[in-house]
A = this chain, B = another copy of it.
Amino acid sequence: MQQHIPGLQRWIEYCNNGAAVAGDFLPLNVSSATVGYLSPSFADRLLNAEFNDVFQKCPVSGGVAVHTSLVSQQQRTAAIATVLQQLNAEGGIQGWRGELYPAASSFHEQPAFLIERAAAPYFGIKAYGVHVNGYVCLPDGSKELWVARRSRSKPTWPGKLDHIVAGGLPHGLSCAENVSKECAEEAGIPAELASQAVPVGAVSYTSLQAAGLKRDVLLCYDLQLPANFVPQPQDGEVEEFFRLPVPQVVELMATSSDFKENCCLVIIDWLVRHSYLTPDMPGYLALVAGLRSGDCS
């Protein structure tokens, strides 16, 4: 394992390439709460006169505020949706999903508004997901991880290696409900088996993307599967599932770009918790600390 630590650390740095430039972004406020961060050019676009009943300059934060005349979640959601339609028509928002994400300063706050998932990074909204590591314990004590290959026709990360189950957390679904739903949809894992997926922590990062600042918190789950269980692609998201011994997963992550980048962080967290990485290995603490580099709230 030792020799692969720098190769693993690389993915923590990759996923946190937004941290150094986060200060260049402008806060997006709803009253006194900061719910997002905007690039200066996107902030300018929102402050254009055509949207001046939806957004205004925020005198407190110096950034942008949702207009104070919009007082309820419903009002803000509806007004922002009209702005998004205009931006989308201009080609300003890529990868429309038709799925609503909550915008809030932290996970258990009442959302200030709901927003199309594809728009979340443009607005620097914190986004949450559930990521499940499915694994098998073999009789000799070794473990194998289930790996999914994403469909080559998916618009995002086609053909990349992925968790057995993972998914963004849309508004109105609990983490436990989402795990169970995604287990069924993506991998054909029956409810009784899916209910054995257990929460074990979280990783967080701040990525700079063309769209803006992607501020993600991934809620990590472990699912120990029986050796004779084989997941089945259901909804076309996954091309194939296969099992790999842990050392092979580590080598792949450390020496290739085969895995979807943020999955590497969730697998590193698993490697730490399952004692494949130990504090006597140089670089251990940087990995451990780096897993929660983003705003984990």
Query: Chain A interface (Cβ within 8 Å of chain B)?
Result: 106-108, 174-176, 198-202, 204, 217, 219, 272-273, 275, 277-280, 282-286, 288-289, 292, 296-297
Report the minimal beta-carbon distance from A35 to chain B, rounded to whole angstroms: 16
A177 (CB) vs chain B CBs: closest residue: B280
Select from chain B the residue with minimum beta-carbon distance to A219: B279
| Contact of B108 with A275 in the complex, beta carbons under 8 Å | no
Q: How far is the CA of A289 from the CA of B294 in the complex (A)?
A: 10
Q: Give the docked Cα–Cα distance between A275 and B106 (Å).
A: 21
Contacts of A199 in B (CB 8 A): 272, 275, 277-279
Question: B200 near A280 (CB under 8 angstroms)?
Answer: no
B279 touches A285 (CB 8 A): no
DSSP majority for the A interface?
Answer: mixed
Does B174 lie within 8 Å of A280, measured CB to CB?
yes
| Residues of B close to A275: CB separation below 8 A | 198-200
Contacts of A176 in B (CB 8 A): 278, 280
Which residue of B201, B204, B217, B288 is within 8 Å of A296 (Cβ)?
Answer: B288
Which one of B201, B204, B297 contacts A272 once the chains associate, using CB atoms below 8 Å? B201
B200 touching A289, Cβ below 8 Å: no
The answer to whether B201 touches A107 (Cβ under 8 A) is no
Instruction: With both chains docked as a complex, state the minimum distance between the C-beta of A175 and any C-beta of chain B, in angstroms.
Output: 5
Given contacts A175-B279, A273-B273, contact A285 B107 (CB under 8 A): yes
B292-A297 in contact (CB<8A): no
A273-B273, A280-B176 known; A289 and B198 CB under 8 Å? no
